[in-house]
Structure 1
Amino acid sequence: MKRFFIALSVALAISFSAAAQQITRFGVVDTAKVYQAYFRTSAPMRSYDSKKAEAQKEISKRTEEIRRLKQQKADAELNADEQLAARLDADIVKKTDSLTEYTKSKNLELENLRNSLRNSNEFYNKLYKVIERVAENEGLSVILSLQDDRSILWYSNSVDVTDKVISELDR
């Protein structure tokens, strides 16, 4: 009977150690943070930032022109020059409409450019290869994205491999 319990104990110990070796290890990646870090220094992102700054400069220029026209209109009204005030008012309306259209079109253009950067197959192919390499180096079986469906309610920072993925992408 004593031998039976010893054999059973040894069998249980072996099965527990085998089961311990098969534990699935999870990791998480904040893909939004990876995306931001990767594209911050890329040529396409610099081009996007340049176009955005150019559009903002033009919007500021047009806004300043409208402000100047409004001031001229106020001065014309103070001087009781109704004709000039009416002409300036028409210019203000025209330039405001033009600014609104310009802003809408530039925002749409920039949004489309940003989406094309985000959906770049080249980036995602590289990202998946890097995630695979980091997971294998860390001994992880599964990597979850923090952005997908927001289904991860809590995680330990010890399973977050985001910074390692970013440093691998920067190589």
Structure 2
Amino acid sequence: MQKKLGLLLTLLCMAIIGASAQQLTRFAVVDLPKIYTAFFKDSQAVRDFEQRSARVQADIDKMSAEIQALQKSRLDAASAGDQQKVLSLDNEIYKKTEYLKEYYRIKTAELEDQKKKLTQSDTFLKQVYDEIRIVAESDGYSMVLNLKESSGILWYSPTVDITDKVINNLLTKAGR
């Protein structure tokens, strides 16, 4: 009888160990750029970025309009046969066009740098990663992959996308 009980206990222990060893790893995916856009768009830093971007675009539009006006004047001077004025306007158009190209290049780089800094802010990233961890743990996921940076993801079921849940939790905690 004791041998049977010992054998039964051994089999029961082996079954429990075997069942726990076969636990499946569950993966989730998250779209970080979507989270940044949805949660971070109303912050002061983003509003400042958008205002700066609008100012730069207004400057570019103004310079482009000036160049177009000069080109129209050049055409009028060419039609009138005033070669001296045509050469002068060609020179001015060239200088303003080169300045516009350089301005555009520099300001675009500055705006891209500012945008990158916004999305990589330590406090913001910590808040997002903490919320991803909370959602993943509460839903039983062992690993979360960034959907936009994981080139190895060929297919995923929408049921494992926790992006919207993370956004909702962040917005709730922010009081929005």
The two structures have a TM-score, normalised by structure 1, of 0.85
* Greater shift in the superposed pair: 77-86 or 35-44: 35-44
The one-letter amino acid of 2:91's match is: A
1:101-120 superposed matches below 5 A:
101-120=102-121
Distance 2:135 2:115 in 1: 27
Distance 1:112 1:35 in 2: 16
* Cα drift, residue 109 of structure 1: 0.8
* Cα drift, residue 58 of structure 1: 0.7
Partner of 2:169: 168
The one-letter amino acid of 1:38's match is: F
State the Cα RMSD in Å: 2.5
1:125-136 superposed matches below 5 A:
125-136=126-137
| CA displacement 1:35-92 (0-9 Å, x = unmatched) | 2222222221111111111111110111011001000011011111112112111111
Partner of 1:95: 96
The percent of aligned pairs where both chains have the same amino acid is 40
Partner of 1:47: 48
Partner of 1:73: 74
Which ranges in structure 2 are unaligned for 5 or more consecutive residues?
Answer: none
Partner of 2:60: 59
Number of residue pairs matched by the alignment: 165
3-state DSSP of counterpart to 1:28: strand
| CA displacement 1:113-170 (0-9 Å, x = unmatched) | 0111122111111111101111122122222221333112211111110101111121
| CA displacement 1:5-48 (0-9 Å, x = unmatched) | xx6xx859x54994498333221111121122222222211111
The one-letter amino acid of 1:22's match is: Q
The two structures have a TM-score, normalised by structure 2, of 0.83
Partner of 2:139: 138
The one-letter amino acid of 2:63's match is: R
Task: Mark the CA change 1:78 to 1:162 in structure 2 (over 3 Å): closer, same or farther.
Answer: same
3-state DSSP of counterpart to 1:170: helix
Partner of 1:123: 124
The one-letter amino acid of 1:140's match is: Y
1:30-41 superposed matches below 5 A:
30-41=31-42
* Cα drift, residue 110 of structure 1: 0.5
Which ranges in structure 1 are unaligned for 5 or more consecutive residues?
Answer: none
